[in-house]
Amino acid sequence: MTEKTETTPAWLAPEELESVRGRMPILYIDAVPVRVDDTGVVTRVGLLLRMLPDGTVSRALVSGRVLHHERIRDALVRHLEKDLGPVALPRIPVSPQPFTVAEYFPTPGVTPYHDPRQHAVSLAYIVPVAGDCRPRQDALDLVWFTPEEAASPMVQGEMTGGQGVLLRQALAHVGCLP
């Protein structure tokens, strides 16, 4: 006997998502978009400017949920294109490996990462982009910083939920933390 298995990705209804968020960790990706020179050295880091639910503005990485039956590489491409535009031309490696795993908790202080909505586990990637990037969806702007500027206290202070820590880890991973 053969069972028919649902294989198409689907969004959860808002009430279903809230129910699941209260019971189990949700899988996310975080992506640090970068520009690299001809030798592969990171020259610029792209940070989004977003409006938070409380009306404040913050700098942010590309981030989002992985859908049911969605490959990690497809989630990366989907979120990068959603936030940076269809011609951002992200270069996802053949075998994507995260530079770290970040655990976001609804309780502050458990880890450096905080999300008041949920416990989320995020695979974090550094992704070179080669195309024309234009902020889309809920992003207000995209600014390209040098690695030194991105690691500065001013820019770090504009990031919330521990994403500044994640950005510093990314810069350290590629040897660009000043």
Average pLDDT, the chain: 90
CATH code, 82: 3.90.79.10
Helix (H, G, I), strand (E, B) or coil at 85: coil
Tokens of 69: 């039956």
Tokens of 120: 């989320």
- Distance (Å, whole) CA 131 – CA 32: 15
pLDDT tens per residue, range 72-116: 999 999 999 999 999 999 999 899 999 999 999 999 999 999 999
The DSSP element (H or E) to which 74 belongs, if any, is: helix 72-84
Place of tokens 């350290």: 172
- Distance (Å, whole) CA 8 – CA 128: 29
For residue 42, being part of any structural domain is answered with: yes
* pTM exceeds cut of 0.85: yes
pLDDT (0 to 100) of residue 8: 53
For residue 3, being part of any structural domain is answered with: no
Query: Number of structural domains, the chain?
Result: 1
- Distance (Å, whole) CA 168 – CA 25: 24
User: How would you class 154 by CB atoms within 10 Å of its CB: exposed for 0-12, middle for 13-18, buried for 19 or more?
Assistant: exposed
Which pairing describes strands 26-36 and 120-128: parallel, antiparallel, or unpaired? parallel
Range 25-53 average pLDDT? 95
For residue 78, being part of any structural domain is answered with: yes
Residue that wins the pLDDT comparison between 6 and 91: 91
- For residue 38, what are the domain limits? 24-173
pLDDT (0 to 100) of residue 10: 58
For residue 5, being part of any structural domain is answered with: no
For residue 4, being part of any structural domain is answered with: no
For residue 118, being part of any structural domain is answered with: yes
pLDDT band at 52 (very low <50, low <70, confident <90, very high): confident
